[in-house]
């Protein structure tokens, strides 16, 4: 029997990158997967790959920066599937004009809502189902930027990801009595489409040395499959060839 048979997983930002890899990995373990993102076509593509292998996938597109979207999708999950066992809060974004010299209020708002507010909305939406089950795991794609401050990610992204890490720990402090676990996954550089928003282009050679989306998907799978009495509160994952470390060695 696959480890997540009869479980339901909701994956946000599921159309590409880490979200896509996580959705495929969870489906391989037998979970019924609900896929959310702003663009329906990539979600349908992921869903078809899951269904082609005999899995179950539901597409629920929507903009999670809107406060009512998460509630709508959670209601769909409860009415259609009856439960939610796993939430992968992976939706996120960054902008090119991210440094203080160019940052605008609109840019800051977009990054904070895309990386922090959306995670809050989804967490709030699934908690009633998890409390009723007395079981559930929330996995949040944070970032090295959620633990370490550097100019590379920009202040809005760094602040939002620090907030996501704090949010995750606060969930464990309150919800541990309900059998609910929360984990902040903090990757270093991962070869995903978000790199295309970097002010300085990232070469194909450098991307090949980075953590790949499938590596983080496997980590999310591992966390989701742990027994109820185990909580991984936070985990850092980074490339062996860490470009920040390499740059410091070359000074």
Q: Summarize pLDDT for 3-45 with one digit per residue, the tens.
A: 999 999 999 999 999 999 999 999 999 999 999 999 999 999 9
* SS3 category, 19: helix
Percent of the chain whose predicted confidence (pLDDT) is above 90: 94
Q: Which contiguous run of DSSP H or E holds residue 49?
A: helix 40-52
Domain spanning 8-249: CATH superfamily: NAD(P)-binding Rossmann-like Domain (3.40.50.720)
Mapped onto helix, strand or coil, the DSSP state of residue 60 is: coil
157 is catalytic: yes
Q: 6 near 83, Cβ under 8 Å?
A: no
Half-sphere exposure for 148 (CA within 13 Å, toward CB)? 12
Cβ atoms within 10 A of the Cβ of 135, count? 16
CA-based radius of gyration for the chain: 17
Q: Give 201's pLDDT tier (boundaries 50, 70, 90).
A: confident
- Mean pLDDT calculated for residue range 219-247: 96
- Average pLDDT of the segment spanning 209-226: 98
C-alpha dihedral sign at 28, 29, 32, 34: negative
The band of 92, judged by pLDDT with boundaries at 50, 70 and 90, is: very high
Residues 6+ apart with CB under 8 A from 101: none
Give domain limits for the chain: 8-249
Q: What is the mean pLDDT of residues 65-77?
A: 97
Catalytic site residue from 121, 157, 222, 245 = 157
**The CA-based dihedral angle spanning residues 59, 61, 65, 67, taken in that order and rounded to the nearest 10 degrees:** -80
Residue 90 has phi, psi (to 5 degrees) of -115, -15
Angle 67-81/118-133 helices, nearest 10 degrees? 30
- Whether 155 shows a pLDDT value over 90: the answer reads yes
């Amino acid at each position: 029997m696959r480890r997540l048979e009869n479980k339901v997983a909701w994956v946000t930002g599921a159309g590409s990158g880490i979200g896509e890899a996580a959705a495929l990995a969870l489906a391989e373990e037998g979970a019924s997967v609900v896929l959310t993102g702003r663009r329906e076509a990539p979600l349908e593509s992921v869903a078809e790959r899951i269904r082609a292998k005999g899995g179950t996938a539901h597409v629920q597109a929507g903009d999670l920066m809107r406060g009512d979207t998460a509630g709508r999708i959670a209601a769909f999950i409860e009415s259609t599937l009856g439960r939610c066992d796993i939430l992968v809060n992976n939706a996120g974004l960054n902008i090119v004009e991210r440094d203080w010299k160019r940052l605008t209020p609109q840019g800051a708002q977009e990054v904070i809502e895309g990386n922090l507010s959306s995670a809050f909305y989804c967490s709030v939406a699934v908690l009633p189902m998890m409390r009723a089950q007395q079981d559930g795991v929330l996995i949040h794609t944070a970032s090295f930027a959620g633990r370490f401050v550097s100019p590379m990610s920009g202040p809005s992204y760094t602040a939002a990801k620090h907030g996501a890490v704090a949010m995750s720990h606060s969930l464990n402090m309150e919800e541990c009595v309900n059998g609910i676990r929360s984990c902040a996954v903090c990757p270093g550089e991962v070869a995903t489409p978000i790199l295309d928003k970097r002010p300085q282009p990232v070469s194909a050679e450098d991307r090949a040395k980075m953590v790949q989306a499938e590596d983080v998907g496997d980590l999310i799978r591992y966390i989701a499959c742990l027994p109820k009495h185990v909580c991984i509160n936070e985990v850092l994952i980074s490339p062996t060839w860490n470009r920040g470390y390499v740059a410091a060695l070359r000074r």
